[in-house]
Structure 1
Amino acid sequence: MKKIVWIMAALTLVSLAFAQQKAEDVIKAQCAKAPVVAELWHGFRGGAPRAALENLAVEFNKMHEGEGCVRPISQGGYRDLSTKIKAAFAAGTLPALAQAFENNIALYLEADALMPLDDVITDLDQLNPLFVNAVRFDGKLYGLPFNKSVQILYYNRDLLKKHGLEVPRTLEGFIETARKLSAAEGEPVYWFRPDTSTFSYWFFNMGGSYLKDGKLVVNSPEAVKALETMVNGVKDGWAKAITSGYINQNFGKGVYGFSTDTSAGYSYYLKAAKFDLGIATLPGSGDKPGLGLVQGTDLIIFQDVSDAAKKLAGEFINFVSSPKAQALFSAATGYVPVNLKAIDEPALQDHLMDNPDFKVVIEQANYAAFEPAIAEWEQIRFDILGQAIKEAVLGKASPQEALDKAQKQVEDLMAGRIR
């Protein structure tokens, strides 16, 4: 198994003179003396992402001592974050900066609450264009791609070697290999969580699109085929639905062969695996990798704060999107570096030398797919489509029935008949 090299202690542009776990306290002290404080509400509960963000904030604040301070404040998880931002609209207590998914941005734009960033981001041409285009609305840029992950294929090298099989490169090869391994081992080897993310892999790579003629469609023939693949995989014994905890938390409870999961989970997979874990680009069609769902958030700036806070926020997003900062953030967290020049930075080169598999994540980011950037998508993703997928996989409804029901709920929601 490849050695993980954690560089969290070096996650600043110069060496920090204090321990990583003290970053939050350092920020409080920095902001207590600052003439301008720009709050950054985020959805990192803890771990490497939160520590990485706080260390970046510490270094930024050191560079702007006497001018201003950015203060990251965790709001819990991502859904907690969006809920609290909605409450802040009503209370008039919005922060200067926040993390937001593309569908959140669409919602906030309905209130004309966001600051356009076209004239703020100085090195826009260095950023991954797929990520940038996803945060353009009516031709204007309203977000800075920040912590982005992409689906990849995780696999058990030992199991493939045991049976003389190769890593699958196509959808058909993926299913065939999973069938062979499952038959040989006597239990399913493709593990998945019955959620919208797993569904999206099959859906996008079977030619699916959520938007047809300007209408949101979740029960298309491609959607039914994708869900049937998941359901039939369980029935036929080559796929296993993980309904409790993350996939890596279930290692040891059966024979694991494959999963299609977010690259942000790479370090957790490595820690949990007692076998030789490999990662690869997703099986697709022909000689091209499959499309991987992009997850993770963008940084936004709200209009309803002081000019000084907006100026400071703009300087911060340029700082965290620089090649050096992105290299450090990516190496520490496993997120995709959104700045294309980050690959040339020593921090990321060192990380790739010790973790060569991470090149897969960078390559997969060129084959990306996004969910609809509409204001209602959060509710649809979790409460409507997500529920339909679970019902079908758990045998409570056929794929067609589950998706037809979801389509009716989507149409009612979009028309304002339900909330």
Structure 2
Amino acid sequence: MKNWKRRESFLPVAVLLLLVSLIASACGSGANTNTAGGAEAANGSPSAAAGSSTSGADGKKEEKTEKTKVIWWHSMGGELGKAADQLVADFNASQDGIEVEAVYQGTYDESLNKMKASMDSKSGPSLIQVYEIGSRFMIDSGAITPVQDFIDQEGYDVSQLEENIASYYTFDGKQYSMPFNTSNPILYYNKDLFKAAGLDPDKAPATYGEVKQAAQTLAAKGTPASFAIYGWFMEQFFANQGAEYVNNGNGRSAPADASLVNGDAGIQTLEWWKEMVDSKAAINLGRKTDDTKKAFLAGQISMTLDSTASLRGIVDGAAGKFEVGTAFLPKPDGAEGGVVVGGASLWILNNKPEAEQKAAWEFIKFLAQPETQAKWHISTGYFPITKQAYDEQIVKENLDKYPQFQTAIDQLHASKPSQATQGAVMGVFPEARQIVEGAIEEVLGGSKPVKQALDAAAEAITGKISNYNKTVNVK
């Protein structure tokens, strides 16, 4: 990064502990951070013991070849964890030189904190899944080997990757991690309720004005809209207007040192949201997307916002009750921009032997293969990160079954590349989300006007960024 003092070794433990508190102190609303809940996934099989042997048919001992062990920490629980474990099993069965062990470490926040706690003892993983908003910290920590190093060493073809996905994890032309699970927010609506209210069920509202008008019509029939108070949605509303969320090119041309959440994009968005709540066209169900999802599936609300990763569950949950419609994330009239990828990527830790890092890279390449991405997409609903995955027959069949997913694909490809859609980066992003969510609550609850709430949020976030930048010696 320009004007950034890079480190090739770990930051002092005391500094890392301070960064832990900066990043994780305000991450209480885990239900809205694209983390995977559910039961802990089973760990992978242990590696073969070094120097072990077996007896052959002739009674002579045959030495086993020692496998390179890769420990992968991830945050995919429940059904997602089972899908991740299957990918690990497929990789381990595909060759005999590397053994990957998948270890579920809880939410993204919990996993990242465990990694930091393990760094001094080197007892941590070879590879870790980190949510997108942890990217700035991972780079600043000096704890990782950029995947660009491996890409360059073997001339790996990155053109096979979705550009709008890989670009999030690329800084100054260098790709630092490999995207793994990726999602966007889309508008979900109840086609049956639209039809009953006299609205065209095949023409979804696309702009703030159209959403407000449709919501008013639907509310008059007893089914208003509802959007969870989720900081990720505000970030997406900014990008969809081509607006940057922090200064200095969204923190990409130089380290960000100021929040722009109180800019025109934020004010216009929150005023629109507030007007809908005040007019009863929309109701406020709080911060949890699970709550709006349940209300939507129960037919209590007509429109909501949720991740593309929720699409399969929502469509299956509505089966036999109503038809689900999907549409692009709404934006003001005339706005040009697009969505930012959510989800997480895979980072290689640099305190492991070179052979172990290379083995982790081999696993990463396996995960990016079209057939692997196709299986992952079908099992989870996350986007394939590899374009050729859409040519796989199982993906084509899945699109036939869930045609609503075409909306997600089209929205991703329609997003115009810019620093706005590439996504903001800052070392205190999780905490910034919490601050923004608090501001939205104040506005919707009527305790503060829009401009005052966003000005206070911008000031608070800017202060957090300043403290972080001092910690990592930004010049």
TM-score range, shorter chain: 0.7 to 0.9
Letter matched to residue 460 of structure 2: Q
- Give CA-to-partner distance per residue, 1:358-415, whole Å, 9 cap, x none: 2222112124435422211122112x22222222222232222221221221122122
C-alpha displacement at 1:206, in angstroms?
4.1
> Computing the radius of gyration over CA atoms, which structure comes out larger, 1 or 2?
2
Alignment of 1:132 onto 2:166: yes
- Give CA-to-partner distance per residue, 1:156-183, whole Å, 9 cap, x none: 0101111231322333222221122222
Hey, what does 1:7 align to over in structure 2?
none
Hey, what does 1:297 align to over in structure 2?
344
2:314 to 254, 265, 269: 269
Contact 2:237 2:269 in 1 (8 A): yes
Does the C-alpha gap of structure 1 residues 288 and 332 become closer, same or farther in structure 2, counting only changes over 3 Å?
farther
Separation (CA, whole Å) in 2 of partners of 1:285 and 1:388: 21
Separation (CA, whole Å) in 1 of partners of 2:296 and 2:189: 12
Letter matched to residue 232 of structure 2: S
Separation (CA, whole Å) in 1 of partners of 2:242 and 2:195: 32
C-alpha displacement at 1:288, in angstroms?
9.4
Separation (CA, whole Å) in 2 of partners of 1:386 and 1:153: 19
TM-score where L is the length of structure 1: 0.86
Hey, what does 1:99 align to over in structure 2?
129
Contact 1:281 1:360 in 2 (8 A): yes
SS of corresponding position for 1:80: helix
SS of corresponding position for 2:125: coil
Contact 2:443 2:453 in 1 (8 A): yes
Hey, what does 2:273 align to over in structure 1?
230
Q: Which moved more, 1:339-348 or 1:353-362?
A: 353-362
Hey, what does 1:219 align to over in structure 2?
262
1:39 to 68, 71, 74: 71
SS of corresponding position for 2:352: coil
Q: Which moved more, 1:76-85 or 1:206-215?
A: 206-215
- Give CA-to-partner distance per residue, 1:307-340, whole Å, 9 cap, x none: 1211110001100011111111111111011101
Count of aligned pairs:
393
CA-atom RMSD, angstroms?
2.7
Letter matched to residue 332 of structure 1: S
Hey, what does 1:5 align to over in structure 2?
none
Letter matched to residue 79 of structure 1: D
Aligned-residue sequence identity (percent) comes to 28
Alignment of 1:24 onto 2:32: no
Q: 1:393-404, aligned counterparts within 5 Å?
A: 393-404=444-455
C-alpha displacement at 1:275, in angstroms?
1.7
C-alpha displacement at 1:253, in angstroms?
6.0
1:199 to 231, 234, 248: 234
Hey, what does 1:146 align to over in structure 2?
180
TM-score where L is the length of structure 2: 0.76
Contact 1:197 1:293 in 2 (8 A): no
Hey, what does 1:8 align to over in structure 2?
none
2:368 to 291, 303, 321: 321
Separation (CA, whole Å) in 1 of partners of 2:45 and 2:302: 46
Letter matched to residue 283 of structure 2: K
Hey, what does 2:225 align to over in structure 1?
190
Separation (CA, whole Å) in 1 of partners of 2:328 and 2:394: 23
C-alpha displacement at 1:42, in angstroms?
1.0
Contact 2:132 2:342 in 1 (8 A): no
Separation (CA, whole Å) in 1 of partners of 2:442 and 2:105: 31
- Give CA-to-partner distance per residue, 1:52-75, whole Å, 9 cap, x none: 11101001011222x121111111
Letter matched to residue 205 of structure 1: N
Contact 1:153 1:260 in 2 (8 A): yes
2:384 to 324, 327, 337: 337
Contact 2:41 2:77 in 1 (8 A): no
Hey, what does 1:249 align to over in structure 2?
294
Separation (CA, whole Å) in 1 of partners of 2:335 and 2:467: 41
Separation (CA, whole Å) in 2 of partners of 1:381 and 1:288: 23
1:406 to 457, 461, 467: 457
Does the C-alpha gap of structure 1 residues 168 and 198 become closer, same or farther in structure 2, counting only changes over 3 Å?
same
Hey, what does 1:50 align to over in structure 2?
81
C-alpha displacement at 1:124, in angstroms?
1.0
Separation (CA, whole Å) in 2 of partners of 1:289 and 1:412: 30
- Give CA-to-partner distance per residue, 1:241-298, whole Å, 9 cap, x none: 2225432222466632111211111122124323211222333467999733421001
Contact 1:323 1:341 in 2 (8 A): yes
Separation (CA, whole Å) in 2 of partners of 1:103 and 1:375: 8
Contact 2:235 2:245 in 1 (8 A): no
Alignment of 1:168 onto 2:205: yes
C-alpha displacement at 1:46, in angstroms?
1.6
Separation (CA, whole Å) in 1 of partners of 2:393 and 2:149: 29
- The runs of 5 or more residues in structure 2 that have no matched partner are 1-38, 51-65, 249-255, 416-420
Letter matched to residue 152 of structure 1: I
Separation (CA, whole Å) in 1 of partners of 2:402 and 2:276: 32
Separation (CA, whole Å) in 2 of partners of 1:201 and 1:191: 17
- Give CA-to-partner distance per residue, 1:126-146, whole Å, 9 cap, x none: 001111111112321111111
Hey, what does 2:243 align to over in structure 1?
208
- The runs of 5 or more residues in structure 1 that have no matched partner are 1-20
